[in-house]
Each structure stands twice: as structure tokens, then as C-alpha cells.
Amino acid sequence: MNKQPITFYCLTQTPVEKALPRVLEKAVEAGLRAKIFVKNEERMEELNKALWTYHPQSFLPHGSAKEGQPDLQPIYISAINENENGATVLALPDQDLGEIPAGIEKVLYFYHQAFQPGVANAKAHWAQLKEAGHPLTLWTQTASGWEKGVGV
């Protein structure tokens, strides 16, 4: 059984609401569908708003469980750990790493360096995923862009 590659994004300069849309732009440009798995409906609304407002000249086609019709959404946000929109990319802005839904080929895991419980969770998840045989990559946000690292 193939193990999905998991990319960890260590945020140091901006909150996930600013970094996530930029990373998802790359997925949409590549013609991929993405699912954003959030912890609750309040968080779903926060990220829905963030995707609409993160940059005045950009647009990320997306919807949320509130609007429904996941099959029409290239990016879909929900608090249900299922692959409702047939995504191949799963984004985890809240570190809620559970069972990876069927059809997911790549996972994007975000955490902020300033939030120590989040760093501890990221380290624990890194060790667990490495033990399970997932290919892991770390990107750390710097003032000049993203820098590839070797581990959380």
C-alpha cells in the first residue's frame, strides 16, 4: 500500500489564514482538487472568508459545507473527515490529523512555530507518520519565502 506524502508547513511570519491560500493556489494551478478539513463550523466560516479576501487580485474557486454541492467545488471546506469533493490534496490547517480519506494523494499539514502546543503536536505527528512510512517534507516560512528543512 502506498503511503501519501505529507508536507509540513511551519509558519513563522503569517497566520494560516494568509499562508493556506497561497499554497492552495499552486494546487489549483496544477488542476488539482483540494479538501480543507477543519475542526468545526466556526473555523470553516473563518477559512471560507479568508479564501475570499486574502488578496484583492486573486480568486480561489471554493465552497464550504454551508453551501453544499461539494462535487462542484475545486476547494471544499468542511468539518467532516471525508473526501466530499473528490480531492487529491488534503489541507489540515488545524492539525486535526485523523484517518486520511480515500482518494487523497497528498496531505498539507500546517502549524505555527509560536504556538508551543501546536509544535508539540506537529513533532508527535511527524514521528507517528515517519514510523508509518509516509514520505515527509518540511517547509519553514522565512522573511524571504519558504525554506526546505529536514524535520519538525
pLDDT, position 151: 72
83-121 per-position pLDDT tens digit: 999 999 999 998 778 889 999 999 999 999 998 888 999
Which ranges of 30-115 would DSSP assign to H, the alpha helix? 41-53
34-85 per-position pLDDT tens digit: 999 999 999 999 999 999 888 888 778 999 999 889 999 999 999 999 999 9
Query: DSSP assignment, residue 40?
Result: S
User: Of 28-32, 115-119, 146-150, which has the strongest mean pLDDT?
Assistant: 28-32
- The pLDDT confidence band at residue 1, using thresholds 50, 70 and 90, is low
pLDDT, position 152: 73
The dotted CATH code for 6-149 is: 3.40.50.10110
C-beta of residue 111 within 8 angstroms of C-beta of residue 95: yes
Query: DSSP assignment, residue 100?
Result: P
- The pLDDT confidence band at residue 148, using thresholds 50, 70 and 90, is very high
Mean pLDDT, range 9-35, rounded to an integer: 94
Please give the model's pTM, rounded to 2 decimal places: 0.93
Say if residue 12's pLDDT is above 70. yes
Which ranges of 54-94 would DSSP assign to H, the alpha helix? none
120-133 per-position pLDDT tens digit: 999 999 999 999 99
| E strand or H helix that includes residue 108 | strand 106-112
Length of the chain: 152
Mean pLDDT, range 18-23, rounded to an integer: 93
